[in-house]
Structure 1
């Protein structure tokens, strides 16, 4: 059967809550634009501290990257910690690294506190070396993480094969802080918790016009409006229309999910429940969900011209990694947009006198987004330190061309590589 162009997460999220569009004029202390990890976390932590907060989502909670990602809850960024400190300076970089190291604990604590049903498993992640050069990269990352007290282990090829069920890798870096979740169920569950604390959430409420008028922000939607003292824009890669687009380099990441694997296969593949990705420049990821579906993904856009190439590569590559799954069909497929910056680091950008926009997680949105949302709530209430300094506008030169470069590079790589 042909896979459905529909997120597995939207199919398996339990009892999706629905919120009405904003259809009146209201006031609040803070208005949040964007219903993903960052925006929902900001709304939750504002409401938890007694502030009045309105969250506007143009589509549905988790519609964007928060409902379309792999579901790996990582401790940190794709960029290694030493490079973070080189780019930001030792003190600022160390502060960001320390904050992001707490990301998984923040996420899993919220899940436990509010009993969010999101298939949470905290058994670590495996960063797998696809080549000898990849293993050298992992050794450097291991040394950097050990120097910062992280609970990581460097696994040899034999142990990696035992843990993953694949003989394709030269080794792996296991990070015990990390884990996996059903990401859409998590963000929707956190939105429910925010609402219980008093946050006002509105779906299908695109911010058509955003203006700062003296001491207040005025946001107009199709049927209503919000007046608030502070603005938190959390649209990441999905901002448009009145929500001023962030200065990002756009990229796409696609995933396909198989039918549930037979029980005997599930016992030989990722028996520990880790989520995985590799060291290739055009990286791949794989994991199992609660029902035993293999979820396999890579850079690329299944809604673009390279879709056929990406699908064919995924089928070949997955069979090469796991010959035992040959013949098990893909049943779902989906694509999400990733927001990257030229530094490959997140950015907090100033909007007006009393607003900020947060974006640029480079595909690592769950832990960092939850943390940055909490920090944004502290900022809006006038206390706490943000993980990064607030900057002015920093345009990304030739962003569209650079985004095309990533897509063409992924398509060419998938056309030439992974053949049996």
Structure 2
């Protein structure tokens, strides 16, 4: 994706979601109590929670609310991290890790509660999230995760092979687990709904205003764009995988500690009633244990929203349509002829250990990056937590495991080589553990 091109992606979400609010650009000198950079889930959640607390807040967005990863993803609402389990998080972060685990545990319900509270119509369905396992040995993964999350009160259950077959309508998996609080949404509708709720409560959003720099001057944070600047007491940087896309000097240490990986999403034509009675009849969200992930969920029009990954992106759309159609037919022969109406992509911010990074930037200034494919639920919950931080809630009460930025060595080179990791994932997927 060309970061200079702000055209909306040709996604299912962009095609089906009502237009967002008309927003001004940042021009001249402006001030606010808190400045938020980025109008994705984290930035909008932070700003909305700040307005509810009576704080004057302004959001500065490079394109439009939801234009980045928040509006391009699959919309699965998953209350876990992709790889680390609770014991891993606590081993790394201690007592604050326990608070972070509790935040993760409740993150899906937090998202659905926020949508209900602000009457956001985002096609939300809290039907649960399922992680089936693709080989017998990987049942150990499901058992470990259920054991660990159960200790913290998460509503998780192990699934036998027969239960998985009944829930998903396929013999492809050997069991798995599910979490009842998960589900799926239209992510762009959620982002635009959060933006509208913020504006209705007196918050400000400046769009089409890429931030080129921020700095601390005279005990204030000053954020500059091409046409103006805004100063504030506090700052939240909420740009995640897109941190270096519009201005490479914005926050290079943070931009270089995450690897922006292109994630391809696809939507089929609406499935027949007969197919839907077999294929995920309970409409849960599903993503399995493949490194080359198999994932799917329905949208409100009964399209199956899925996706894939490529090493070579030449003629990407045609390759993906052929590859993913074959995959769906292997998983669910009842699906018949598969045709895709929408194919789009965006970046996922990956870290080397699959843990998010949360930072103090200075006095009353914070940032986070590294969603690792779990940003939908996590971002909404972290936005609330970051709003507490800038309001002065003691660190001992926050679920924010702070660390120093750790840029990836040879980030530029590795970014070009990152698609080759798919070959390694395919080899690992083929092995039993």
Aligned pair 1:244/2:251, yes or no? yes
The match for 2:86 is 81
Determine which of 140, 165, 183 is the counterpart of 2:169: 165
With over 3 angstroms needed to count, the CA separation of the structure-2 counterparts of 1:302 and 1:35, relative to structure 1, is farther
Q: Equivalences for 1:281-296 in 2 at 5 Å?
A: 281-296=291-306
In the TM superposition, residue 118 of structure 1 has moved relative to its aligned partner by: 0.5
Aligned pair 1:392/2:404, yes or no? yes
Aligned pair 1:189/2:193, yes or no? yes
- Which residues of structure 2 form unaligned runs of 5+? 1-7
Q: TM-score, normalised by structure 1?
A: 0.92
The CA distance in 1 between the partners of 2:315 and 2:423, in whole Å, is: 9
In the TM superposition, residue 238 of structure 1 has moved relative to its aligned partner by: 0.3
The match for 2:4 is none
Q: TM-score, normalised by structure 2?
A: 0.89
Aligned pair 1:212/2:216, yes or no? yes
The answer as to whether partners of 1:306 and 1:411 remain within 8 angstroms in 2 is no
The CA distance in 2 between the partners of 1:219 and 1:341, in whole Å, is: 27
Structure 1 SS opposite 2:269: strand
The CA distance in 1 between the partners of 2:423 and 2:322, in whole Å, is: 11
Give per-residue Cα distances to partners, 1:5-31, cap 9 Å, x unaligned: 722111111343231212232110010
The match for 1:142 is 146
In the TM superposition, residue 379 of structure 1 has moved relative to its aligned partner by: 1.0
The CA distance in 2 between the partners of 1:24 and 1:334, in whole Å, is: 36
In the TM superposition, residue 311 of structure 1 has moved relative to its aligned partner by: 4.1
In the TM superposition, residue 410 of structure 1 has moved relative to its aligned partner by: 2.1
The match for 2:5 is none
Give per-residue Cα distances to partners, 1:126-145, cap 9 Å, x unaligned: 10111112222111111112
The match for 2:272 is 262
Give per-residue Cα distances to partners, 1:68-100, cap 9 Å, x unaligned: 1111111121121122222223x2322210111
The match for 2:366 is 356
The CA distance in 2 between the partners of 1:75 and 1:172, in whole Å, is: 16
With over 3 angstroms needed to count, the CA separation of the structure-2 counterparts of 1:347 and 1:147, relative to structure 1, is same
With over 3 angstroms needed to count, the CA separation of the structure-2 counterparts of 1:92 and 1:229, relative to structure 1, is same
The answer as to whether partners of 1:33 and 1:56 remain within 8 angstroms in 2 is yes
The CA distance in 1 between the partners of 2:427 and 2:334, in whole Å, is: 23
Give per-residue Cα distances to partners, 1:141-165, cap 9 Å, x unaligned: 1111222222111111122111112
The answer as to whether partners of 1:6 and 1:332 remain within 8 angstroms in 2 is yes
The match for 1:28 is 32
Give per-residue Cα distances to partners, 1:313-343, cap 9 Å, x unaligned: 2122111111122313011011121112223
The CA distance in 1 between the partners of 2:72 and 2:312, in whole Å, is: 12
The match for 1:329 is 339
- Number of corresponding residues: 414
The match for 2:420 is 408
With over 3 angstroms needed to count, the CA separation of the structure-2 counterparts of 1:300 and 1:29, relative to structure 1, is farther
Structure 2 SS opposite 1:102: helix
- Which residues of structure 1 form unaligned runs of 5+? none
The CA distance in 1 between the partners of 2:220 and 2:293, in whole Å, is: 44
- Report the RMSD for the aligned CA atoms in angstroms: 2.3
